[in-house]
Structure 1
Amino acid sequence: MTSSARATTAAAAGPGRPRDADLDTAIIQVTRERLAEQGYSQISLSEIAAAAGTTRPTLYRRWPTKLDLVIAALEWGFQAQTDSYPTDAIAELEPREAFVEAVRRLDPAYFNEDAMLLMGNFMGEARRTPELLAIVRERAVNPRLAQLEAVLQALRDAGRIRPDVDVRAVATLCFGAYFATFLREDTDHHAVAESVCDTLWPSLAP
């Protein structure tokens, strides 16, 4: 069973009376806040339960382990980001606009301003708890990179960008720009997509 499937199973489990969806959401939100503030190793299930207005046994009935709870919190964020995307299909946009939109969706902080802190925490846990980084790769990083690569591949097939463009390399450069922006303390990550595409597009165009 994959980590995402295990999280789904754990979240869906829970015999007895019906789950309180509002309580579930409160626990998830507190978990996400504590992850950004403290990191995975330091968060306490007792503190999360208290902040969410519940008890540790109640929390454990929903998510048997801290890892299960954190994965559920990540899954919630991944889905919320996907739900926040514009409804217009990328394939219907003009070539450059499609490129910009796909790059914009690479932004770890597209939906959550604390996402870059979370990414740093998960990378720091890569040896102790590799499942965390694996779920981020599986559910967030790889799908968004694949979407940009698909956009570039479609543009290449249609002759709208050069046939020798390395779509994987371009996607990697675009994704890395968000980390460089954060590390350089440039606060406006919203401008990354436009500025990166302005720089790269002339070299991509046939």
Structure 2
Amino acid sequence: MTAGGRPRNPALDEAIILATRARLVRDGYSRMTLGDIAADAGVSRPTLYRRWDTKLELVADALDYGFRKQRDQYDIDIASLDPREAFTEAVRRLDPAYFNPDAMVLMGNFAGEVIHTPELLEMLRQHAVEPRVTLLEDVLAQLQQRGAVSEGIDAHTIATMCFGSYFGAFYRGESREDIPDSVVAVLWPVIAA
């Protein structure tokens, strides 16, 4: 129960969260308004303000909503995969759009806000970037333990390069579909034991 004694309606909460996520992509953080979000969600402004004191708090919850839905998909069971296939699958999951087709636009919007609202980029780093690159680093460590990948590799740099390949393709207007196979074709001969 909330302070007023009435239980919160989870359907309203989700409608507001989904409206916020859509506005973040469409308008970006600075241009979106709480009034627009309330209208999109079909709720009144007081309904929105009873749940969140500030736009930043609402955005934090909207991002967390997406991150929670994605979190379980970060893990890869590589035991049954050929080492190169495991590496390819980890590179595939680095794709920001693997879980959310609007992620590249959202990340660009947040990068554009870094001067005014640096907290947004930090949220993105913590919840969307680091879990992905850590996944690849962990897969590389497991492949090292299996003797499939050289001990002397720089997993951090490899993960950063692989993650950046998606942004490079996005800004060049290229398809991201072939990135995992293309990146692995270049890197695997260098890192394989």
Using structure 1 for the length normalisation, give the TM-score: 0.87
Question: What percent of counterpart residues are identical?
Answer: 53
Map 1:93-172; keep pairs closer than 5 Å. 93-172=81-160
Report the AA paired with residue 25 of structure 2: A
Structure 2 gaps, min length 5: none
Report the AA paired with residue 158 of structure 2: V
Structure 1 gaps, min length 5: 1-11
Q: CA, structure 1 residues 22+169, in 2 after alignment: closer, same or farther (shift >3 Å)? A: same
Correspondent of 1:76 among 48, 65, 70: 65
Deviates more, 1:175-184 or 1:136-145: 136-145
Using the alignment, how far apart are the partners of 1:94 and 1:14 within structure 2? 55
CA contact (8 A) 1:90 1:101 kept: no
Other-structure match for 2:16: 27
Q: CA, structure 1 residues 102+44, in 2 after alignment: closer, same or farther (shift >3 Å)? A: same
CA contact (8 A) 1:14 1:62 kept: no
> Given the alignment of the two structures, is residue 201 of structure 1 paired with residue 153 of structure 2, yes or no?
no
Report the count of equivalent residues: 193
| Deviation digits for residues 131-180 of structure 1 (CA, Å, limit 9, x no counterpart) | 11111111111121111111112212332112221111110110000000
> Given the alignment of the two structures, is residue 57 of structure 1 paired with residue 50 of structure 2, yes or no?
no
Using the alignment, how far apart are the partners of 1:199 and 1:114 within structure 2? 28
Using the alignment, how far apart are the partners of 1:71 and 1:88 within structure 2? 27
Displacement, 1:88? 5.9
Correspondent of 1:189 among 164, 176, 191: 176
CA contact (8 A) 1:78 1:140 kept: yes
State the SS of the aligned residue for 1:40.
Answer: helix
Q: CA, structure 1 residues 166+122, in 2 after alignment: closer, same or farther (shift >3 Å)? A: same
CA contact (8 A) 1:125 1:132 kept: yes
Using structure 2 for the length normalisation, give the TM-score: 0.92
Using the alignment, how far apart are the partners of 2:36 and 2:25 within structure 1? 15
Q: What's the C-alpha RMSD, in Å, of the aligned pairs?
A: 1.9
